[in-house]
Structure 1
Amino acid sequence: MAMGSQSESLTTDADTRSPTRPCSEVSNPTLADLPICLLEIIMSLLVLKDNICASAACKSWLEAAKSVRVAKKNPWLMCFPNRGNLYEFHNPFQWKLYTMNLPELAISTVCYAREGWLLAHRSISKEIFFFNPFSRELISLPKFEPRFLKFAFSSPPTSDKVVVLALYFPREDIVIISTCHPGATEWITGNFLTGSKPDNDLVYVNNRFYCFNTRGGTLYSFLPSPRIWHRHTVECPYPQPYLVNKTVSLAEKKGALFLITCSNEKTMMYKLVSLQWKEMRSPAIDGLTIFVSSCNSELRTNLPWLKNNVYFSRFGRGPKHCLSYSFDESRYSQIMEWLEFCPRGSLWIDPPENVLVDL
């Protein structure tokens, strides 16, 4: 894997305040007296070899270093080239850029991403395949008609239980659903009735694929094994009619389904509980970090210096600043009226396993 990188310093707005201590304890403060939340943030910015060296300083540094060493890192932003095969991978929170030449993705469209894998297809040749840009592993699927508009898969293609799903809507009230898996020789296809056309990306949670109609607020699911398409009676969480300039995304975490709505004024987050959307507000969001793009949305729970924020797949005015919304402060990082939240030319992807190592 040939990757080049460049980096700059990073500043954060993390709250580093610690409880008040007696004067006798702070009269001769040392680095060991830093609060654990600040130590975790510092350690999370170190590559693996520096993390290990820092952990030898004292007991508190060891605990902080180990806690972030095993933590799952933030996803990277993968940006597609307008021409050619040179793809960019940004870690916007460490201001690092990696570039990779990926001819395997030539003249293809990436339609879904999950756990470091991409699902891509070529309309002319009808090819559809899995691709891991870091390992360069490519896994082909049976050829497929390019008319299908929505794709998703349940787990990495190396899993024995992976299911690939494709949806096509020839009419507003009909959906054509096809499923497949690596090693299969053909797709299994069937027609199902639907009340309205889902216009949101697919999410897999609890053995079902979910999608959402943003205008009517209707939630749909598909159970692959018995091949059941179901319309769920769930009250729309936001006011009707549909608001202009609103981005609506589905996401999942630990078996729960979440809905994120983004408008020029604010971002709202809801959790599906007993077929009802329950609004989540800080501190009920409980340290979640949400990464939203047009192809996928990712949730994280162990990123202390990014908690209670939504990050979008578009950069702001600065070339390395990622647009975000803070639930704690109820505001965007900048005015967003004229900006598209999630352009089609980028998505969030899990970094390679050796992300803590200098590449």
Structure 2
Amino acid sequence: MGCSTSIHKEEKNKERCKIDNSRTWTDMPIELMQLLVPRLCLVDCVRLASLCKAWNSLSNLIQDAMVNPWLIYCENESSTWKIFDPVCGKEYSIDMKWLGFSENLTFLYSKDGWVLASKEDNSLFLINSLRRECVISLPKLNTCCRFKPLAFSSAPTSPDCVVVIAEFEGEHIAEVSTWSPGEEQWSTTSFQDEIGYNVLCNPVFTRGEFYWYSNGGELLVFNPFQKTWKVLEIETPTKMASYYRRLVMECYLVKSGADLITVFRGLKTEPMQIFKLDRLNMVWSELHDIGDVSIFLDCRATIAKSFPEKWCRNRIYLCGFSDNHIERSAFYSLETAQYHPKYPRNFKEPMVYIWIEPNLTS
């Protein structure tokens, strides 16, 4: 009797399994989906949406995904671009054959999911790698832009988008070229400076103006709509006062919320130095903590992003990564004032790379 009962139970369990296996993805409750999506990286969320047409009707499916900055890079002149998510430690591939060119491509700047890139012949393009056929060619500028401090204010689909490229000729002339989508040529304006400035990274657009950080601590400010130029005379942060120290430190400027932040990175395992602009007193104030924010560091496009999860806050992510699946990401922790791993000697940095904030809507 006992034997027949157990056989009966086993048959019932098998029947249940058959029924469960026959159910489709559409049977998953929407409430469960809404709990799952915020825990997924953007690429995984896009894949999930492709499994079921019904889920595409959820307007906030993509918006609710965990959208982390990505390191986009291409190697060996391949038409396949790689995406590395340092927070999730995952890597993906994008087929960019539709672009028609990837050889000799240089990434110059990124914002709102778009990348400003140049080819060897100095031609310029705005590319959205996540949206097929989203390429905008810019007019030719009679200069090599690969080493010029440049940026754009917003996605080129925005009506107020403007691209700026600065050139500091000699000691006393700043030349700024601007272009907006729909224009057939660049507009160039020259400004006289009493002092020569050494600009180390791309500018930041905030409050309707572009800000360049000079090696001496000053901020160079250009208003692209009024075509005005001014210099905010701010003393170099005390710890950066020595000329030699400024010479060996890499400097980065980033916008975090309404704040302007500078990050200084020294040699080897030397602690990073971070300063925030105190606009009231016009001084650089040192920060030892950036709260729920993490910074993704690069002289072309540094990104600051806040995170709800504690474990990935208060960090400065570097462009290097490894094939080790345990320690794939390299970052500096402000909490421990140390690099993790201790120093990423074996981490590789691709030749052509840039941080981007994924955007499927612009």
* TM alignment of 1:91-110, pairs within 5 A: 91-103=85-97, 104=99, 105-106=101-102, 107-110=104-107
More helix by share: 2
Question: Which residue number corresponds to residue 267 of structure 1?
Answer: 272
Pick closer, same or farther for the CA change 1:322–1:242 going to 2, 3 Å: farther
Asked if structure 2 preserves the Cα contact closer than 8 Å seen for 1:163 and 1:179, the reply is: yes
Provide the rounded CA distance (Å) in 1 between the counterparts of 2:139 and 2:47.
Answer: 46
Pick closer, same or farther for the CA change 1:127–1:322 going to 2, 3 Å: same
Is it true that 1:299 corresponds to 2:301 in the alignment? no
Residue 87 of structure 2 aligns with an amino acid whose one-letter code is F
Question: Which residue number corresponds to residue 141 of structure 1?
Answer: 138
Pairs aligned (count): 297
Pick closer, same or farther for the CA change 1:69–1:209 going to 2, 3 Å: closer
Provide the rounded CA distance (Å) in 1 between the counterparts of 2:229 and 2:66.
Answer: 34
Provide the rounded CA distance (Å) in 1 between the counterparts of 2:276 and 2:107.
Answer: 28
Gaps of 5+ in 2: 1-34, 50-59
Pick closer, same or farther for the CA change 1:82–1:146 going to 2, 3 Å: farther
Question: Which residue number corresponds to residue 164 of structure 2?
Answer: 165
Question: Which residue number corresponds to residue 213 of structure 1?
Answer: 214
Instruction: Give the deviation of 1:308 after TM superposition.
Output: 0.6
Please, which of 232, 235, 239 is the counterpart of residue 241 of structure 2?
239
Question: Which residue number corresponds to residue 254 of structure 1?
Answer: 257
* TM alignment of 1:184-199, pairs within 5 A: 184-194=183-193, 195=195, 196-199=197-200
Pick closer, same or farther for the CA change 1:261–1:153 going to 2, 3 Å: same
Provide the rounded CA distance (Å) in 2 between the counterparts of 1:71 and 1:272.
Answer: 32
Residue 337 of structure 2 aligns with an amino acid whose one-letter code is S
Q: Deviations over 1:181-212 (max 9, x none)?
A: 01001111021223223122111111111111
Q: Deviations over 1:22-77 (max 9, x none)?
A: xxxxxxxxxxxxxxxxxx9996357559999xxxxxxxxxxxxx9x9737521111
Question: Which residue number corresponds to residue 88 of structure 1?
Answer: 82
Provide the rounded CA distance (Å) in 1 between the counterparts of 2:347 and 2:188.
Answer: 35
Asked if structure 1 preserves the Cα contact closer than 8 Å seen for 2:330 and 2:344, the reply is: no
Is it true that 1:330 corresponds to 2:340 in the alignment? no
Gaps of 5+ in 1: 1-39, 53-65, 355-359
Bigger-Rg structure (1/2): 2
Is it true that 1:315 corresponds to 2:315 in the alignment? no
Provide the rounded CA distance (Å) in 2 between the counterparts of 1:86 and 1:108.
Answer: 13
SS in 2 for 1:199: coil
Pick closer, same or farther for the CA change 1:127–1:50 going to 2, 3 Å: closer
Pick closer, same or farther for the CA change 1:342–1:174 going to 2, 3 Å: farther
Residue 199 of structure 1 aligns with an amino acid whose one-letter code is L
Provide the rounded CA distance (Å) in 2 between the counterparts of 1:287 and 1:187.
Answer: 40
Provide the rounded CA distance (Å) in 1 between the counterparts of 2:312 and 2:37.
Answer: 13
Provide the rounded CA distance (Å) in 1 between the counterparts of 2:187 and 2:330.
Answer: 40
4+ runs of 1 displaced by more than 6 Å? Answer: 49-52, 339-343
Instruction: Give the deviation of 1:343 after TM superposition.
Output: 6.4
Please, which of 70, 75, 80 is the counterpart of residue 69 of structure 2?
75
Provide the rounded CA distance (Å) in 2 between the counterparts of 1:127 and 1:337.
Answer: 35
Provide the rounded CA distance (Å) in 2 between the counterparts of 1:249 and 1:289.
Answer: 14
Instruction: Give the deviation of 1:347 after TM superposition.
Output: 1.4
Instruction: Give the deviation of 1:242 after TM superposition.
Output: 3.7
Counting aligned pairs with the same residue, the percent is 26
